[in-house]
Structures are given as structure tokens and as C-alpha cells.
């Protein structure tokens, strides 16, 4: 086989064109900051890249879920501690009100404080986290408790009921 000058030139021009294409690819990589721009660049590396990106998204979602759970537990813990404090105060007031030395007026004040504590307790039970009630099991869109007030629910009415009951039982 005879190699001519024309063939050497054609071969050299082919190599130069390949290098220009390589240079264009490298410049495009520099401009975009990405080595893999198309799946045809390197199919194995593209597949690995896709797997890594998927795993990264999974880990970010896992982190977000953990932060939500920690926030939910923190809010729940705070609500439970406050509930415990309120219940202890209600117990103290109940013990005070049970004493025979308390006057009706003092019991009215205790009743008002217990009513206020009850409202606070209901508010704690209806605690929300990200728009969902945390103490209502699976029905997170519905409040666990609601307070229905009545104008007749006073200490005087309670005392009247007690008197009526004792009068009826002693006959």
C-alpha cells in the first residue's frame, strides 16, 4: 500500500477536526460546569449520577421528616408538661375547695380559676403542629375537645342542686 502526501494531509485534517471537536466539548463543559450533559456522553456515569441524585433527594426528604417529627415531639412534650402543671393546680384548688372552712364567695373564686384552667387545658389538648391537631389520633383535622359553656353552670347552681338532692333523700 502506497501512502501519498494527499492521504497524509487528509489523515492530519481528520485528527485536527477530532481535536477541534474535543476542544468544543471541553469548552461546553467549562461553560455549563457539567461533565455529563447528555446520556450519550458516558452512559455508565449518567446512570450513576441519576442514582446518586435520587439517593440525595431521599436523604433530604428523610432529614425533613426527622425535623418534622422532632418538632412534633417537642410541641407534644411542652403541651404535656403544661397539662401536668394545670392538673396539679386544679388538684390543689379542689383540695382547698373541699375544706369546710371555705366560704361560698371563696369557692366562687376557686370555681372561676378552675374554669379558666379548664379552658387552658382544652387549648393545650387542641394543640396544633403544621395545621394538624396532635392529640386526636388519626382525625388530625378535627379538634379533640371543644368547650360548651352554660350560663347556669355556677357554684350557686351546684349548691342548689346539692340542697335539692339532700332534701329529696332525707324525706
* CA–CA distance, 166 with 168 (Å, rounded to integer): 5
Q: What is the pLDDT along the chain (171 residues), one digit of tens a residue?
A: 688 889 999 999 999 999 999 899 889 888 888 877 777 778 888 889 889 999 999 999 999 999 999 999 999 999 999 999 999 999 999 999 998 888 889 999 999 999 999 999 999 999 999 999 999 888 888 888 876 666 555 555 655 655 665 565 555
Q: Report the pLDDT value the prediction gives residue 76, as an integer from 0 to 100.
A: 94
What per-residue confidence (pLDDT) applies to 132?
Answer: 92
pLDDT value for 54: 96
- Contact (CB, 8 A) for 111 and 94: no
pLDDT at 154: 57
Q: What's the confidence (pLDDT) of residue 153?
A: 55
pLDDT at residue 60, as a whole number? 97
Q: What is the pLDDT of residue 170?
A: 56
Query: Which pLDDT score is estimated for 162?
Result: 57
Give the pTM. Answer: 0.60
Amino acid at each position: 500500500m502506497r501512502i501519498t502526501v494527499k492521504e497524509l494531509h487528509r489523515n492530519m485534517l481528520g485528527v485536527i477536526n477530532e481535536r477541534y471537536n474535543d476542544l468544543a466539548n471541553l469548552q461546553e463543559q467549562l461553560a455549563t460546569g457539567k461533565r455529563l450533559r447528555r446520556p450519550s456522553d458516558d452512559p455508565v456515569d449518567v446512570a450513576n449520577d441519576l442514582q446518586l441524585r435520587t439517593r440525595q433527594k431521599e436523604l433530604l426528604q428523610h432529614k425533613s421528616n426527622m425535623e418534622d417529627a422532632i418538632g412534633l415531639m417537642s410541641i407534644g412534650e411542652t403541651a404535656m408538661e403544661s397539662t401536668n402543671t394545670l392538673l396539679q393546680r386544679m388538684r390543689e384548688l379542689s383540695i382547698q375547695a373541699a375544706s369546710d372552712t371555705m366560704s361560698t364567695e371563696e369557692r366562687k373564686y376557686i370555681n372561676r380559676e378552675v374554669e379558666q384552667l379548664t379552658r387552658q387545658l382544652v387549648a393545650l389538648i387542641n394543640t396544633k403542629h403544621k395545621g394538624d391537631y396532635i392529640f386526636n389520633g388519626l382525625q388530625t383535622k378535627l379538634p379533640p375537645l371543644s368547650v360548651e359553656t352554660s350560663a347556669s353552670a355556677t357554684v350557686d347552681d351546684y349548691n342548689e342542686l346539692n340542697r335539692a338532692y339532700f332534701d329529696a333523700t332525707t324525706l
